[in-house]
Structure 1
């Protein structure tokens, strides 16, 4: 899909393949550890180790889901997963959800995150989605700024009360 040169090596954003599964699982595991694992004690931070391979495998075979990989020097160093939701009676528009996006810290300055988001938005628009959405933890101000720089704007707020 797109390439960026950094230190004489190429960072590539491309559709993920089945042989990327170990790297996709590692990327998802790192995302959970860095984000939900530090911000939400109700999330099982070990979920990717047990379930991410099956989740990515199913997504790779589903036309309503998109999986992208960031490749650097032959290794997967990031990923994006998105999905489409068909219209319903309560929400009569097709919508796209950016489920997860992660780029390892050493590769965040490569622009790969923004290129993945742009590829996701293009993919969703080509399939008739009327809008795209993403959620982020309120405490993850870096992610919120990233999404805002990439055209997303606040729409809803989730408030939680522990019991």
Structure 2
């Protein structure tokens, strides 16, 4: 049985390991990432913020997954929303994948977002990460924009 809860500072060691798991998973899709340790997230701020929630999933008293939702201001004034909820840090330990844990985390983050009045929920995913794209589409997400690059 999997239980979901808000992360605490006591979870930081595991969450930092998960963060490197995310980086490792993304390296094949992004040749611009520098070598070595990368920190994408300010985990303490996510834990402490009123405008964010960082969720962990536990199974048999072990943290096996994570994800966050953060309320952000719309980047452009021509969008039909002023604020939206941004989801990130979706990670499930490899040995626990395929069990619906990520979907449970996403469902909780969507509920948290809706409880705060968010009608727009967004996330970023590498388009070549087909398994992640399919997982997000299964929950109802759809692609909006593809960023392209030219290296010279």
Q: Same fold (TM over 0.5)?
A: yes
Task: Give SS of 1:42's match.
Answer: coil
Shift of 1:100: 2.1
Compared CA separation, residues 138 and 144, structure 1 to 2 (3 A): same
Q: Deviations over 1:19-66 (max 9, x none)?
A: 1111111111111111x2221121236213xx75xx111111111111
Task: Give SS of 2:113's match.
Answer: helix
Q: Does 1:93 align with 2:82?
A: yes
Q: Deviations over 1:70-118 (max 9, x none)?
A: 2222222221022111356344422111122010121113211001101
Q: Does 1:20 align with 2:17?
A: no
> What is the RMSD of the two structures over their aligned residues, measured on CA atoms?
1.7
Note the residue ranges of structure 1 that are not aligned, 5 or more in a row. 6-10
How far apart in 2 are the matches of 1:38 and 1:124?
Answer: 31
Counterpart position of 1:142: 131
Q: Bigger shift: 104-113 or 148-157?
A: 104-113
Q: Does 1:126 align with 2:115?
A: yes
Shift of 1:127: 0.8
How far apart in 2 are the matches of 1:81 and 1:105?
Answer: 19
Q: State the TM-score, normalizing by the size of structure 1.
A: 0.83
Task: Give SS of 1:31's match.
Answer: helix
Q: Which consecutive aligned stretches of 4+ in structure 1 deviate over 6 angstroms post-superposition?
A: none
Q: State the TM-score, normalizing by the size of structure 2.
A: 0.89
Note the residue ranges of structure 2 that are not aligned, 5 or more in a row. none
